[in-house]
Amino acid sequence: MKYIFFTDPSLSEFLNVTKNSTKLQKIQDLTVTDKTVIIVPNEILNLVEIDSNTKMVNKDNIEAMILNQIASNSITNASNLKVLSTTKKNQYYVISLDNLKKLKSVFSHTERSLNIASDLTYFSAFKSNIFFNDLCYLYENKKSVKLKYSSYKLLENQSKLKEIDEDELYLNDNDVSMTTLNSLNLIESISSKKFYKYLYVLLGVFVLVNLVGLLNIYHNQNQIESMDQTIKEIYEDIYPGENSPDISLDIKQKYNNINYEKNTILLQIQRLISLTPTTVNITNVEVKLNDSNTVKIIYLFQNEVDESLFINNMQQAGYKTAISNREIISGYIQTEINYEF
């Protein structure tokens, strides 16, 4: 068994892990066989675990339940996600269409089906909480969580971690839940006969549309001139003091100005609040408008794991976060987080 272990979401290089050695290699050196397992970061292939005692057996219902949970508890847009079954009944992977395209682009040259898993599932086979490459993999209370070490340090009750290095990555007993991806096709292929049939239809429609357009150009010219005059009159009614030599250019400029004005600090705050999961409460929002626009939001978390996951997600979404205060109130964690725009 050989493992291709990617430690970075860019997928530009990987660790080639075999029983006898571990080597860092570039993506152009990648070779895949039937006995190869691809390990990618959980940020690309997100592990989702459902209750093993669930009575739900219909695959469509399970996928709908998973996507609904993600929409309720995450900042991710669930409409852009795909649920993948794994070799374990109660474990699934969720992947965005962009990441799916990235995987198939990276592995398309292999021209084979891929056995693929996330690093969060891989390290679960070590039967311990793992510290590797400045990341923490925690497996407690039937939950699997991947955290940056900086987020892990925020936990009040820190779990014991087993630190491993690259030479200890190999698994003799492969008990990792995997899914299978076909690297050959990104979209469903169309047979050549159907392809040409669709092409001829498209060409026919294109020619027909252009013929009709040519026949109507003369008849529509007067209507176009009339529409231009109407637009000019409407513009002068709205902006009576302006004598514009090019109304089309001015309308475009005003449209761009409106779009720029929309990108204000208030809209940024609205988006920030909308990204807060339903399990997290916001108790206060403060805004400081100066050379460095800062927003302070006070959150109320149910536990440390929710807090760490939320901060980790916001940082991955590109927000600059800084914790200004943190305290325990009646069993809940109240955290003040500053965002800088």
Give pLDDT, residue 133.
93
pLDDT score recorded for residue 197: 47
Would you place residue 332 in the very low, low, confident or very high pLDDT band (cuts 50, 70, 90)? confident
Q: Say what percent of the chain tops pLDDT 70.
A: 71
Asked if residue 68 has pLDDT above 50, the reply is yes
Is residue 4 scored above 80 in pLDDT? yes
pLDDT grade, residue 173 (50/70/90)?
low
**Average pLDDT of span 21-33:** 91
Residue 127 has pLDDT above 60, yes or no: yes
Binned at pLDDT 50, 70 and 90, residue 231 comes out as: low
**What are the pLDDT digits (tens) for 74-102?**
656 666 788 898 988 889 999 988 888 88
- Comparing 14-28, 162-176, 183-197, the range with the smallest average pLDDT is 183-197
Q: What is the mean pLDDT of residues 204-226?
A: 57
pLDDT exceeds cutoff 50 at 195: no
Query: Looking at the predicted structure, is the pLDDT value of residue 209 above 90?
Result: no
pLDDT > 90 fraction of the chain, expressed in percent and rounded: 24
Q: Mean pLDDT across the stretch 10-25?
A: 93
- pLDDT at 198 > cutoff 50: no
Average pLDDT over residues 136-163: 87
Least confident piece of the model among 194-198, 280-284, 295-299, 324-328? 194-198
For the cut 90, the answer to whether the pLDDT of residue 227 exceeds it is no
Q: What is the pLDDT of residue 230?
A: 66
pLDDT mean over 136-158: 86
pLDDT of residue 234: 65
Tell whether the model's pLDDT for residue 44 goes beyond 50: yes
pTM value is 0.58
Question: Pairing state of beta strands 130-132 and 135-140?
Answer: antiparallel
The mean pLDDT value for 194-221 works out to: 53
- The answer, yes or no, to whether residue 259 has pLDDT greater than 70, is no
Whether residue 41 is predicted with pLDDT greater than 90 in this model: the reply is yes
The overall average pLDDT reported for the chain is 79
Domains of the chain: 2-182 (3.30.420), 192-261 (no CATH), 265-340 (3.30.1360)
